[in-house]
Amino acid sequence: MAPKQLYCRDLRAGDILLELNDGSFSHGLISFGQWLGGQLRSEIIHAAIVRGHSYIIESTKHGIGGADLRIQSLNYGFQVYRPRNVTLATAASNVAGLLLDAHAVSKNLSYSYTGALSSVGGTGNTPRSRTQMDDFADRAFTGVGHPFFCSQFVALTYQFAAEQIGLDAKAVLPLQDTLLSPAVFAQHLDHSAHFDHVGYMAPKQR
């Protein structure tokens, strides 16, 4: 069955959007690097979390920020993945919102260029422990700081949210956030028992 085309009205809080290579130079570099690293879904170059029907939260060169799918992200295409656990989706969306607010106040959640480069050839299936996640939260929410790259931000947000609602982060996303490229993230979600690929968003069609 062909994937369903989705519009903003179809999105739900906590959906994961994986952005497709649009053919631009910067997207091409990311895609090519992932391909060189032997990563099968190299056409996926970015990740974000849905906060509202048309609003996403993501890690960009400016740090944790928000974008409107109808404006700033209008020209991009996305594959859309949805958690089967609605409570987890809501929790992840809320955590992403808190991180967005924290960065707005302290400007402490910067983009990790070195992390993004390291993830291109990286692998790893061990999430942070509960103690390590508490340390992450302390740094993020008290202004100390924590760098992110895009897919790391989405995965760690979900893992932290899972632990907060009593789920095992490793069961939900058995991935090492510091080594998780967008391509590897896509490959995992395609085969995950906790997420469904619910469709795609075409560029300029919202």
Please determine, looking at this structure, whether the domain spanning 8-201 carries the CATH number 3.90.1720.
yes
Is a pLDDT exceeding 80 seen at residue 95? yes
pLDDT > 70 fraction of the chain, expressed in percent and rounded: 99
Is a pLDDT exceeding 90 seen at residue 78? yes
Nearest to 125 by CA among 164, 155, 165: 155
Q: So what's the pLDDT on residue 172? A: 95
Tell me the average pLDDT across 154-165: 97
Tell me the average pLDDT across 174-193: 95
Sign of CA dihedral 177, 180, 182, 186: negative
Is a pLDDT exceeding 80 seen at residue 122? no
* Domain boundary assignment for the chain: 8-201
Nearest to 185 by CA among 26, 75, 79, 67: 79
Is a pLDDT exceeding 80 seen at residue 123? no
